[in-house]
Amino acid sequence: MNTPKHSVLLVALQGEVPGDVRCLLAEGIKVILFTDSTEGLEPLDSYKKANLLHVHLLTAVEVARFGMLHIVDGHFKSLGERRQLEKLANISPLNGKRFNVEQYLVEHAPPQMHLNVKAGAGTGKTTVMVQRILYILHVTGVPLKEMAMITFTREASHRMFQKLREAFYLRFEATGALKYLQYIEELPKMQISTIHSFARKLIKDLGAIEGFGSNVRIKSFKMERKQIIEDQINHWMEMQGDPQNVLSKFNGMMIYEVIDIANEYWEEMEKKGLNAEEITNLQWGRALESSEALHGLFSSIFPKCETSLQQLKYDLNAISLNDLTRQLNAITGQQGALFQNASRLRYLFIDEFQDTDDIQIKLAVRLVEAYGLKLFVVGDIKQSIYRFRGAKYTAFDLLRIYLLKMGERIKNYFLSTNYRSSVALLEEMHAHFEKWGEEELLPYGTKDHLHGVKPGTVRDHYWMANPSFERYSSEQAAYTVRKIREAQTSLDDSNTEKVALLVRTNKQALQLRQWCEKAGIPVQLNIGGTFYLSRAVQDFHALVKGLLFPDLPVALLNMLNSSYSPVHLDWTVLTPLDGDEGKLLEFLKQVEVDGKRVYAPWEVYLEELRIAPVLSVLRRIVEDRGPVQRYYHMELQHLDVQFPDQDNRAEAKARALQYQLNLNHLFELVHRQFSSEFVTLYALQQWLQVQMSVNRDEDEPELEEAAQANRVQIMTVHKSKGLEFHTVLIPFTEPVFRFPQKELLLEKESTNWRAGWFIRKGEDPYGSLTHNELERNEDEETQKEETRLLYVAMTRAESRLWIIANRAKTYNNWYMLLAKRRNFANA
Ligand SMILES: Nc1ncnc2c1ncn2[C@@H]1O[C@H](COP(=O)(O)OP(=O)(O)OP(=O)(O)O)[C@@H](O)[C@H]1O
């Protein structure tokens, strides 16, 4: 028999369990044991906790029926053994721990195979990926630095890193084996990142890419793109002869509106991954009546915009995030040798594969070709919710086809045991999913039916009401707040059990926050992209601006009103000064608190700034002025006035902690941005101002669970991906899926793309005939995407799923989807 490197699966009566099981466990070999008693083997808890030992208790008769089964590292000696294993998975063990043969087969698949794991919600995708990595480490000896993992968001990368570290640590704790400490040390060398960071590092490693010098930079080009659009529109108008006359044909739109719309349309092309050639060959079709001028403009400017942007990229030796993967795909033939410069990769894991777009899939295949690496992709087609970013829910099929073209095969696996939601809850969800599957709104067949293992413990696990409210009316607010409070107060332990309110849009999330805050319900908002709008950033900007323009009254006032200073001056106190700059400055510089002039320390800082580096002075100001403590006191005061009957300290503390995290993160970003340059206050202020006005991608660092106390979580479904909550409450079902004010629809037909544009101005719609044609398909695809979104939202629930199915509107919204369920009215 081979010496085990990773695991042993044993079926044996208690007296026949080999004596070396303990030694195996102590060496970090996983033991999956089917037996009638563990007497004599105890204590085993640390091994169980480390996922090293799985015991399935059977009756002696059952054990005897299977005879002695002994499988090492997943190698079957015969087909019979494999069948035995499947039979074992069908037994209900006495201790309730059913063997998950699907997870076992994925974990132990031969290391030289590409694997494709399609898995329903909560079936342990993440868990199995961690175990697979351990298997590869043990069986092949490939080091962590030759493995990489691509996740969809930075949060997911962070979570994956933590999960791996925890798995290694628990194994070290259980076995004392030093190799696990070594893995922890090596873990940072395994690249776990988003596709963009991954491509960025690869390009850095490759040294150079076609047409660009070394050290190519990554830029967003947001501002530059807008400028290019503006130039091209001006140029186009000049070419038409009389600009005033042209403007009058823009259906009453101002020129800045046209620029904004054109910019959005151009972004849409980028999101869908169109290259310059495809943009040049776009088929715009014919204009609707009275839309000819705009049609002429849209159908001619974009190729020129692309040329200008490309030139700018060469001039600045910079590319955009979206270019990264495209550029890597362009490295072909002889240039392929470039890959040898990059660090070697043997395994690539891709999470949330259903949301991968065409270019990224091709990149994965390109890497298989360049390195001979093996892929492990995992995802759930039913959870594909990034169509707006160009993701296609056919990702798995595309990958299989591309690999086949190279003569490579990928093996499919399927996980269907759900560990997240209670059995009762899963059955209620199934009643919805099944119907959506029948109507082809969701790719949900018999094999997608999730089988639960968690008993339902909570009454009211599934609740749906059908009230009828005007959107955002006071009745709706009162009803929703009452349900939220009820959900929160009926938890057994609000520190470990979380209530999450899941919504479709940021606007809905903000509306909910407002209702909750008004009612004194502490909330944790997670809608992403809010970092540059946070108070910590605003205060810091006020600080920098105040130091940069000490003789500008408004800058000085904002700085004094920030958390860096102990006063709060109302604008009205300045009114008697009639806007006289000199008098205003004099007044602001003389303001006193407790007999001390508030401005005095700032004069010292200004002096310091003349000689010391800007960042070190700013750091010192943060230490001296204690903005976090001051923010805490201000928030507490504010909360105490608003809710005098409750203890507001925990909430004020949570807010202050978030402020601190944001401030630390800001310093990190500043260091990253200005690392190789000499920073001036001016450069810092300019950069901050731009970020605050345009950057909606940067997220606030996450507050640790413990610090969130009993906050209700509010988030968009997109943000809830990969997460789970005791209670999920879906408060809004009435908003309609599509009611665009303006849009550009793009669809690929054989080799060329078609473009259809639309703008609603007042009552009047303008656009192209192509838009009308593409809209039917768009409606259908939107409905499917919304169904998948609702699938993700519902499957986040562990114990309770509550839905306020507002029937105010019944068409083209989540209500319509929910009402499809059999016996809807009685549900
Ligand atoms: N074999 C197992 N035994 C017990 N619990 C498990 C097992 N596998 C996974 N779990 C638990 O089930 C829950 C869901 O697992 P995980 O988050 O890995 O699922 P997922 O498939 O990634 O979910 P989703 O795609 O819906 O986000 C987690 O709490 C995890 O600890």
Ligand 1: residue whose CA is nearest its atom 30? 124
Evaluate: CB of 116 within 6 angstroms of ligand 1.
no
Q: Please give the distance, rounded to the nearest whole angstrom, from the Cα atom of residue 79 to the centre of ligand 1.
A: 29
121 lines ligand 1 (CB under 6 A): yes
CA 72 → CA 111, 132, 361, 385, distances in Å?
15, 15, 34, 40
Q: Return the residue whose CA atom lies nearest to atom 1 of ligand 1.
A: 100
Mean pLDDT rounded to a whole number for the chain = 89
Take atom 8 of ligand 1 and give the residue whose Cα is closest: 124
Mutate which of 420, 426, 453, 789 to test ligand 1's pocket (most atoms within 8 Å of Cβ)? 420
Residue 146's H or E segment, with its range, is: none
Q: What is the 8-class DSSP label of residue 144?
A: G
SS3 745: strand
What is the residue type of 125?
Answer: K
Q: What is the ipTM of this complex?
A: 0.96
Q: Which atom of ligand 1 lies closest to the CA of 415?
A: 21
Ligand 1 centroid to residue 89 C-alpha, Å: 18
- Beta strands 147-151 and 347-350 are parallel
Which position has the higher pLDDT, 387 or 406? 406
Structure tokens at 404: 């086949």
Q: How far is CA 486 from the centre of its chain?
A: 29
Nearest atom in ligand 1 to the alpha carbon of residue 103 is 1
- What does the pLDDT read at residue 460? 66
Average pLDDT of span 664-691: 87
> Measuring from atom 9 of ligand 1, which residue has the nearest CA?
124
Give me the percent of the chain exceeding a pLDDT of 70. Answer: 95
Q: What atom in ligand 1 is closest to the CA of residue 796? A: 26
Report the C-alpha gap between 744 and 282 in whole angstroms. 12
pLDDT of residue 455: 83
Does residue 332 carry a pLDDT above 60?
A: no
The tokens 């169980």 sit on which residue? 48
- Residue 119 assigned to a binding site: yes
Confidence bin at 657 (pLDDT 50/70/90): very high
123 lines ligand 1 (CB under 6 A): yes
Q: Whose CA is nearest to atom 29 of ligand 1?
A: 420
Ligand 1 neighbourhood includes 103 CB (under 6 angstroms): yes
Structure tokens at 167: 């798995």
Mutate to test the pocket of ligand 1, among 106, 419, 429, 799 (most ligand atoms within 8 A of CB): 419
User: Is the pLDDT at 330 greater than 70, yes or no?
Assistant: no
Whether the per-residue pLDDT at 459 is higher than 80: the answer is no
Amino acid in the structure at residue 651 = E
Phi, psi of 618 (to 5 degrees): -60, -40
Is residue 420 within 6 Å of ligand 1 at its C-beta? yes
| 103 Cα: distance to centroid of ligand 1 (angstroms) | 11
What is the Å distance from ligand 1's center to 449 Cα? 16
- What's the confidence (pLDDT) of residue 339? 63
Which pLDDT score is estimated for 329?
Answer: 65
Residues 792/121, Cβ–Cβ less than 8 Å: yes
Q: Which of 9-18, 264-273, 475-484, 537-546 has the lowest mean pLDDT?
A: 9-18
626 is in an annotated binding site: no
Picking from 281-290, 576-585, 657-666, which range would have the lowest pLDDT averaged per residue?
A: 576-585
Q: What is the Cα–Cα distance from 206 to 371, expressed in whole angstroms?
A: 13
Is 380 close to ligand 1, i.e. is its CB under 6 Å away? Answer: yes
Which residue's alpha carbon is nearest to atom 11 within ligand 1?
Answer: 419
Does the beta carbon of 122 lie inside 6 Å of ligand 1? yes
Is 121 annotated among the ligand-binding residues? yes
For residue 439, the model assigns a pLDDT of 96
Q: Is 127 in the pocket of ligand 1 (CB under 6 A)?
A: yes
Closest ligand 1 atom to residue 97 Cα is: 3
Identify which has the larger pLDDT, 797 or 569: 797
209-262 tens-digit pLDDT: 666 666 777 777 888 999 999 999 999 998 888 777 877 888 788 889 999 999
Backbone angles phi, psi at 52, to 5 degrees: -95, -30
- How confident is the model at residue 320, as a pLDDT? 82
Highest mean pLDDT out of 12-21, 49-58, 214-223, 314-323: 49-58
The best mutation among 48, 126, 384 to test binding of ligand 1, ranked by most ligand atoms within 8 Å of the C-beta, falls on 126
Query: Does 715 score more than 90 pLDDT?
Result: yes
Residue 59 marked in a binding site: no
pLDDT at 242: 78
336: pLDDT strictly greater than 90 = no
CA atoms within 13 A on the CB side of 635: 23
What does the pLDDT read at residue 355?
87
Give pLDDT, residue 331. Answer: 60
- Cα 684 to ligand 1 centre (Å): 44
According to the model, what pLDDT value does residue 376 have? 97
For residue 124 and ligand 1, the question of a CB distance below 6 A is answered with yes
Q: Is the CB of 100 under 6 A from ligand 1?
A: yes
Q: How far apart are alpha carbons 102 and 90 in whole angstroms?
A: 12
Write down the H helix ranges in 50-100.
60-66, 79-90
The residues pairing with 524 across neighbouring beta strands, listed in sequence order, are 713
**Does 122 carry a binding-site annotation?**
yes
**Alpha-carbon separation of residue 335 from 370, 424, 691 (angstroms):** 11, 57, 37
Phi, psi of 33 (to 5 degrees): -115, 125
pTM score, whole prediction: 0.87
Q: What is the pLDDT of residue 694?
A: 83
Hunting for tokens 């491509």 — which residue is that? 199
Rounded average pLDDT over 91-101: 86
123 CA to middle of ligand 1, Å? 5
The reported pLDDT for the residue numbered 200 is 78
**461 burial type by CB count under 10 A (0-12 exposed, 13-18 middle, 19+ buried):** buried
Confidence of residue 301 (pLDDT cuts 50, 70, 90): very high
Evaluate: CB of 722 within 6 angstroms of ligand 1: yes
Q: Is 385 helix (H, G, I), strand (E, B) or coil?
A: coil
pLDDT tens digit sequence for 80-89: 888 989 899 8
Task: Indicate which residue's Cα is closest to atom 15 of ligand 1.
Answer: 124
Residue 87 assigned as binding residue: no
How high is the pLDDT of residue 768?
96
Distance (angstroms) between ligand 1 centre and the Cα of 380 equals 13
480 annotated as ligand-binding:
no
Q: For ligand 1, what atom is nearest to the CA of residue 418? A: 12
102 band by pLDDT with thresholds 50, 70 and 90 = very high
Question: What 3-state DSSP class applies to 710?
Answer: coil
Q: 252 or 393, which is more confident?
A: 252
The answer to whether 124 is a known ligand-binding residue is yes
Residue 35 Cα to ligand 1 midpoint, Å, equals 25
Q: Who has greater pLDDT, 774 or 206?
A: 774
Give the pLDDT of residue 699: 87
Q: Give the pLDDT confidence score for residue 762 in this predicted structure.
A: 81
- Write down the pLDDT at residue 343: 67
- Residue owning the nearest CA to atom 18 of ligand 1: 124
Q: Is the pLDDT of residue 579 over 80?
A: no
pLDDT-derived band at 773 (thresholds 50, 70, 90) equals very high
- Closest to 200 measured CA to CA, from 361, 319, 360: 319
How many whole angstroms from 752 Cα to the centroid of ligand 1? 42
Q: Measured in angstroms, how far is the CA atom of residue 158 from the centroid of ligand 1? A: 17
Q: How far does the centroid of ligand 1 lie from the alpha carbon of residue 106, in Å? A: 14
Query: Is 644 a residue whose pLDDT tops 70?
Result: yes
Q: What is the mean pLDDT of residues 752-780?
A: 92
Q: How many CA atoms lie within 13 A of 505 on its CB side?
A: 11
- Residue 25 pLDDT more than 70? yes
Q: What is the pLDDT of residue 340?
A: 64
Least confident of 10-19, 548-557, 736-745: 10-19
Separation between Cα atoms, residue 494 and residue 468, nearest integer Å = 30
Q: What is the pLDDT of residues 364-392, one digit of tens each?
A: 888 898 888 999 999 999 999 988 776 66
Q: What is the whole-number distance in angstroms between the Cα of residue 417 and the centre of ligand 1?
A: 9
> Given this model, what pLDDT does residue 660 score?
97
Q: What phi and psi, each to the nearest 5 degrees, are found at residue 376?
A: -130, 105
